[in-house]
Every structure is written in C-alpha cells, then in structure tokens.
C-alpha cells in the first residue's frame, strides 16, 4: 500500500502543470483545479491531511477545493464585458 502523504510534491507539480495549461486554455477551470491541487499538496506537506490520506478521500478533497476555488475566482474576477450577450429579439424576425 502506498503512503499518499509522502507524495505531497506530486500534488504541487500537478498544480504547476494545471497553471501552465490555464495560460493556454483560459477558462478558470484549470486555475480552480490548480488551487485545489495546492490545497491538497500543502495539507499533505504540513501533515494536516496525513491521518486521512487515502486516494479516494484526497480526490474528494481535491474536487471540493477545486469547485470552491473556481466559484470564488469567478465571483472575484467576474465576467468580462461583452462575454455574455442577451438577445432581445428573435433572429428570424
């Protein structure tokens, strides 16, 4: 059995890779996932998640942290002007 708490650096490298992907595909999704990976990596490095460090639990923490980070980034950074278009009339009229 693998001790997942000893692989904290893998989560940090994953966060770096996801940050680089975000530069090429700007959608806030990969940035939220990078923040989630940092949360898990730092939690493992400082021993905060060592007592529950099984792969399914770490993936659930990663997913939850990623969703929270994506929602927070979307609310802080917001929608760019002109990104959302509201149609008032039918295009076929």
**Whole-number pLDDT of residue 13:** 94
Predicted pLDDT of residue 5: 60
58: Cβ–Cβ under 8 A, 6 or more apart, which residues?
4, 40, 44, 49
Q: Would you report the helix, strand and coil content of the chain in percent, each value rounded to 5?
A: 70, 0, 30
Cα gap 3→52, rounded to integer Å:
11
Is the pLDDT reported for residue 1 higher than 50? no
* pLDDT for the residue numbered 28: 73
Compute the mean pLDDT over every residue in the chain, rounded to the nearest whole number. Answer: 84
Q: Which two tokens stand for residue 67?
A: 């969703």
Comparing 90 with 55, the larger pLDDT belongs to 55
Question: Residues of the chain with pLDDT > 90: what percent?
Answer: 41
Mean pLDDT over 20-41 rounds to: 89
Q: How many CA atoms lie within 13 A of 91 on its CB side?
A: 2
- Mean pLDDT within 14-39: 90
pLDDT at 50: 74
Greater confidence, 69 or 74?
A: 69
Read off the DSSP letter of residue 91.
T
């Amino acid at each position: 059995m693998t001790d997942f708490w000893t692989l904290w650096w893998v989560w940090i490298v994953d966060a770096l890779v996801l940050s680089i992907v975000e530069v090429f595909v700007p959608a806030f999704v990969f940035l939220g996932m990078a923040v989630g990976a940092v949360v898990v990596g730092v939690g493992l490095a400082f021993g905060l998640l060592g007592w529950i460090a099984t792969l399914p639990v770490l993936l659930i923490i990663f997913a939850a942290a990623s969703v929270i980070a994506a929602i927070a980034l979307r609310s802080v950074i917001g929608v760019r002007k002109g990104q959302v278009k509201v149609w008032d009339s039918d295009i076929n009229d």
